[in-house]
């Protein structure tokens, strides 16, 4: 199965959904969906800089929201637009991950919409016939 992501409408906010053969792939694709909102062309990002993310939750849904919010925090702190992601999910609903990207250069790149945070609205993480899906609504 080919991993992927999509954006879906949700009133004034936007939904992000990622899928893949593993829950980790679904989390990665969900992050790509979110960061695709924030830049005009995710594929054009030169992945020179790397950040680390640790997150914890009480179930898979809260872990997905914590993952996305951790990425947003690191992106803001370091002024990076992120495009490549790696995540390792542990049994205790915690994770460690990395993301790569490059600094925003406001004079040469257009920013997409500002994502303020991932929410618990319509958040779900599930497996169906070998396909993992992770989704939530992000506040824009």
CATH assignment at residue 98: 3.55.10.10
- DSSP category for residue 73: H
- Split at pLDDT 50, 70, 90, the class of 106 is low
Residue range 4-24: mean pLDDT, rounded: 91
Structure tokens belonging to residue 117: 């945070």
Query: pLDDT tier at 12 (50, 70, 90 boundaries)?
Result: confident
pTM greater than the 0.75 cutoff:
yes
Domain that holds residue 88: 4-139
Spell out the residues 6+ positions from residue 58 whose beta carbon is closer than 8 angstroms to its own. 93
| Distance from the first to the final alpha carbon of the chain | 30
Calculate the CA 38 to chain-centre distance: 11
Which CA distances in Å does 121 have to 46, 53, 57, 104?
32, 23, 16, 29
Q: Please give the tally of structural domains in the chain.
A: 1
Q: Which residue has the higher pLDDT, 41 or 110?
A: 41
Per-residue pLDDT band for 40 (boundaries 50, 70, 90) equals confident
Percentage of the chain modeled with pLDDT above 90: 78
Helix boundaries (H) for 43-109: 60-78
């Amino acid at each position: 199965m080919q991993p992927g992501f999509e954006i879906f409408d949700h009133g004034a906010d936007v939904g992000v959904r990622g899928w893949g053969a593993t829950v980790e792939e679904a989390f990665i694709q969900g992050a790509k969906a979110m960061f695709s909102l924030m830049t005009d062309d995710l594929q054009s990002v030169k992945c020179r800089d790397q950040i680390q993310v640790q997150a914890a939750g009480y179930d898979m849904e809260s872990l997905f929201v914590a993952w996305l919010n951790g990425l947003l925090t690191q992106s803001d702190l370091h002024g990076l637009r992120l495009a490549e992601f790696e995540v390792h999910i542990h049994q205790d609903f915690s994770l460690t991950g990395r993301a790569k990207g490059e600094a925003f250069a406001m004079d040469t790149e257009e920013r997409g919409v500002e994502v303020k945070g991932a929410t618990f609205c319509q958040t779900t993480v599930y497996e169906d016939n070998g396909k993992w899906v992770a989704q939530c609504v992000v506040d824009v």
